Amino acid sequence: MPPRTITVDAVLFDMDGTLLDSTPGLHAAWTTFARDYSLGDPLAVVHETHGRRLADTLKEYCRIEESKLQDEIDRFEEEVINGGPIALAGVLDLLAQLSSETQDGWTIVTSATRNYAPRALERCGIPLPRAGIVTSNDVAHGKPHPAPYLAGAELCGVSAANCEISPLARNSRVRVLTAIY
């Protein structure tokens, strides 16, 4: 397929699977939690929870009470960081190009927490966007709800209608566009 050119005011990137790969650490963390909370096959949990907010998945799958939730989030995220996330091929060059062409023309909209996201990005050598990032701590509803994407567009100072969201499942794009119009 030949490359295509699009004109947008900003790009809203997902983090894990788009900019970096944390698969080894994620598998290790879910293996630990599957053992500790008798969840069964950790790979099944990985597939069922990918892209969702960690607080939501730990409450749902592990039945962690609110008073212990933050400690378990911290423990899970530490294991993922120790697993060595890596920047995906071409990401550093792409972000360097975007940063040289625009001040606030890109940001990261992630289901990761405010504690984990900057640490994972730093570990991979990925710069934080000048506009800031949207994490699970910044919105009441996680993806695919439009709130995180609308917050990302606001950080960039543009309308979400003029943003490219990368990557984005079709049903999420419909929800974002419906929220805008």
Boundaries of CATH 1.10.150 in the chain?
23-82
CA distances, 59 to each of 51, 106, 157 (Å): 15, 32, 34
Which residue type, as a one-letter code, is found at position 74?
A: D
Q: Which of 16, 56, 74, 93 is catalytic?
A: 16
Identify the architecture of domain 23-82 in CATH: Orthogonal Bundle (1.10)
Predicted TM-score (pTM) of the model is 0.85
Helix (H, G, I), strand (E, B) or coil at 106: strand
Identify the architecture of domain 10-21+87-180 in CATH: 3-Layer(aba) Sandwich (3.40)
Q: Is 14 a catalytic residue?
A: yes
Sign for the pseudo-dihedral over CA of 71, 77, 78, 80: positive
Residues of the chain above pLDDT 90, percent: 65
Choose between 100 and 177: higher pLDDT.
100
pLDDT digits (tens, 9 = 90+) for 149-166: 999 999 999 998 888 888
Distance CA 133, CA 5 (A): 25
Q: Which of 14, 36, 56, 71 is catalytic?
A: 14
pLDDT grade for 137, boundaries at 50, 70 and 90: very high
Boundaries of CATH 3.40.50.1000 in the chain?
10-21+87-180
Q: Is 74 a catalytic residue?
A: no
